[in-house]
């Protein structure tokens, strides 16, 4: 009985030392909020000097060139902010991990720093610059001839030519094996027939990387198509999107489009050696973008609940609010560590399909939870575009959760790797 009473006294009446520790913790918390509101475990210490340099440069670009109110106007009109292209060109980061041909030869973590910082302000711009431009260049680098590389890559790296990666079809999204777009061999080249849908950059692209099924072998081949030169290509801008509205997605119609032999990617023999090879890096970048979007939502939410008062006190003083903030912060730490480690594995040539699948699936899932909780804590203001971009974060995360492989498909890719059993064809 005495022991129980002693425990009770200890719990109900904290000692002076405990109170002192608590106050010290509160002070440290106030100090750390300024610098570590997101990077709570100080993962920045793990960055390479080059990653730090690129991150600071990306931060400066965002600070000096991106105005959220201005970008919101383009977002609402579903228009791309073309006035930023010249400024983006000067950064010199297009081409990502490609070496030579006017490309920067960046590591995955370095590109991740760019995606992270851009996506805190504009998911659209980060998707355009870090995914869409790069994924249209990777097939030429991995699967193209030397002549194709020399001709296209320098122009695409300088953004004098805009590319688009045309894989998804109206009836083939997650099931890439269901591609119906056909490539029929004819004298001097190929005839392409079919449709592509949800193709980012398509309405503004100078170059399309079209993936089609060989009518004879049924294997997937890649082709470099220039809409302005190759007849039989029609592109319609997709309207009525609620997420990533400034990204220009298109529906492509190919009707007896003749493509010369020299426009075929010679090393793309099937899905694994063609489009599949390009998805490693873009799924990593998609995870970094999800981290950036979730980070902004959390930061703006934290600022809001510390200032917003209800029932005579800040929202941040309520237990349920602090629990949600802590849950979001924990998610962010896990997401950050996964992004950093998977980027390292990619650069070391050790990454597997299952590992990158788990990254994309888990980070987008946790990011989805973070933006949902952030929007919730902002109450009615969480659906207004002028509260730090949280509303945009909320809807844009839905797109991130789906593109570059859905949550379910990426989970099954990992499941196949860890069990040795494929749950899908």
Is 15 inside any structural domain? no
- One domain, residues 289 and 405: yes
Is 108 inside any structural domain? yes
Secondary structure (H, E, C), 249-268:
EEEEEEEEEEEEHHHECCCC
The stretch 205-224 carries a mean pLDDT of 95
Is 17 inside any structural domain? no
Phi, psi of 250 (to 5 degrees): -135, 160
Q: What is the CATH number of the domain that holds 183?
A: 2.40.110.10
Is the pLDDT confidence value at 418 over 80? yes
Confidence at residue 13, expressed as pLDDT on a 0 to 100 scale: 45
The stretch 344-372 carries a mean pLDDT of 96
Instruction: Judge whether 81 and 204 are in contact, CB under 8 Å.
Output: no
Is 291 inside any structural domain? yes
User: DSSP string spanning 166-194?
Assistant: E--BTTBSS-GGG---EEEEETTEEEEEE
Query: Taking the CA of residue 375 as centre, how many other CA atoms within 13 Å lie in the half-sphere pointing to its CB?
Result: 20
- One domain, residues 287 and 409: yes
Q: What is the CATH number of the domain that holds 92?
A: 1.10.540.10
Domain boundary (107, 122, 157) is at: 157
Domain boundary (132, 157, 182) is at: 157
- One domain, residues 244 and 375: no
Using CA atoms, how far apart are residues 89 and 28, in angstroms rounded to an integer? 41
Question: Residues 48-60, buried b or exposed e (16+ Cβ, 10 A)?
Answer: eeebeebbebbee
Q: How far is CA 116 from CA 122, 328, 391, in A?
A: 10, 17, 18
Using CA atoms, how far apart are residues 139 and 275, in angstroms rounded to an integer? 7
pLDDT digit string (tens) for 373-414?
Answer: 999 999 999 998 888 899 999 999 999 999 988 999 999 999
Is 347 inside any structural domain? yes
Is 30 inside any structural domain? no
- One domain, residues 144 and 77: yes
Is the pLDDT confidence value at 35 over 70? no
pLDDT digit string (tens) for 276-325?
Answer: 888 889 999 999 999 999 999 999 999 999 999 999 999 999 999 999 99
SS3 224: strand
Is the pLDDT confidence value at 31 over 90? no
Confidence at residue 385, expressed as pLDDT on a 0 to 100 scale: 82
Confidence at residue 37, expressed as pLDDT on a 0 to 100 scale: 59
Mean per-residue pLDDT of the chain:
89
- One domain, residues 146 and 169: no
Cα Rg for the chain, rounded, in angstroms?
Answer: 24
- One domain, residues 301 and 413: yes
Residue 167 lies in domain: 163-263
Residues with Cβ within 8 Å of 49's Cβ and at least 6 positions away in sequence, in order, are none
Is 7 inside any structural domain? no
- One domain, residues 81 and 101: yes
Is the pLDDT confidence value at 7 over 60? no
- One domain, residues 247 and 379: no
Most confident of 4-8, 88-92, 96-100, 300-304: 300-304
Residue 193 tokens read as: 């027939």
Confidence at residue 26, expressed as pLDDT on a 0 to 100 scale: 45
Phi, psi of 194 (to 5 degrees): 150, -170
- One domain, residues 214 and 242: yes
244 DSSP 8-state letter: S
Domain count, the chain: 3
- One domain, residues 180 and 220: yes
Q: What is the CATH number of the domain that holds 322?
A: 1.20.140.10
pTM score above 0.75: yes
Domain boundary (139, 157, 175) is at: 157
- One domain, residues 290 and 251: no
Instruction: Judge whether 258 and 190 are in contact, CB under 8 Å.
Output: yes
- One domain, residues 87 and 182: no
Is the pLDDT confidence value at 2 over 80? no
Instruction: Judge whether 249 and 202 are in contact, CB under 8 Å.
Output: yes
Instruction: Judge whether 222 and 275 are in contact, CB under 8 Å.
Output: yes
Is 82 inside any structural domain? yes
């Amino acid at each position: 009985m005495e022991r129980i009473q002693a425990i009770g006294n200890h719990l109900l009446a904290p000692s002076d030392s405990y109170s002192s520790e608590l106050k010290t913790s509160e002070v440290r918390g106030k100090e750390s909020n300024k610098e570590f509101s997101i990077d709570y475990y100080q993962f920045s210490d793990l960055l390479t000097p080059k990653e730090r340099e690129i991150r600071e440069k990306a931060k400066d670009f965002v600070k000096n060139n991106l105005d959220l109110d201005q970008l919101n106007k383009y977002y609402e009109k579903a228009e791309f902010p073309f006035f930023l292209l010249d400024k983006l060109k000067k950064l010199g980061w297009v081409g990502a991990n490609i070496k030579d041909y006017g490309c920067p030869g960046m590591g995955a973590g370095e590109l991740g720093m760019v995606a992270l910082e851009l996506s805190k302000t504009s998911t659209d711009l980060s998707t355009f610059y870090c995914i869409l431009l790069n994924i249209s260049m990777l097939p030429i680098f991995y699967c193209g001839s030397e002549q194709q590389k020399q001709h296209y890559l320098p122009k695409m790296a300088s953004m004098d030519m805009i590319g688009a990666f045309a894989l998804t079809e109206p009836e083939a999204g997650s099931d890439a094996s269901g591609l119906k777009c056909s490539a029929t061999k004819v004298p001097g080249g190929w005839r392409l027939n079919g449709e592509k849908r949800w193709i980012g950059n398509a309405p503004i692209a100078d170059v399309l990387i079209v993936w089609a099924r060989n009518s004879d072998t049924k294997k997937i081949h890649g082709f470099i198509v220039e809409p302005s030169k190759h007849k039989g290509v029609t592109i319609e801008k997709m309207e009525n999107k609620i997420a990533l509205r400034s990204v220009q997605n298109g529906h492509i119609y190919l009707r007896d489009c003749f493509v010369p032999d020299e426009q075929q990617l010679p090393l793309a023999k099937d899905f694994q050696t063609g489009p599949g090879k390009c998805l490693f890096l873009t799924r990593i970048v998609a995870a970094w973008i999800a981290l950036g979007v979730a980070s902004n939502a959390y930061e703006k939410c934290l600022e809001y609940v510390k200032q917003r008062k209800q029932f005579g006190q800040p929202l941040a003083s309520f237990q349920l609010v602090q629990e949600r903030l802590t849950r979001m912060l924990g998610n962010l730490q896990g997401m950050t560590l996964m992004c950093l480690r998977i980027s390292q594995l990619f650069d070391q040539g050790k990454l597997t399909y299952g590992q990158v699948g788990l990254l994309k699936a888990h980070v987008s899932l946790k990011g989805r939870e973070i933006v949902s909780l952030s929007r919730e804590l902002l109450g009615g203001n969480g659906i207004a575009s002028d509260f730090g971009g949280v509303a945009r974060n909320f809807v844009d995360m839905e797109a991130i959760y789906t593109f570059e492989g859905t949550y379910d498909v990426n989970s099954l890719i990992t499941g196949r790797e860890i069990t040795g059993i494929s749950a899908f064809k």
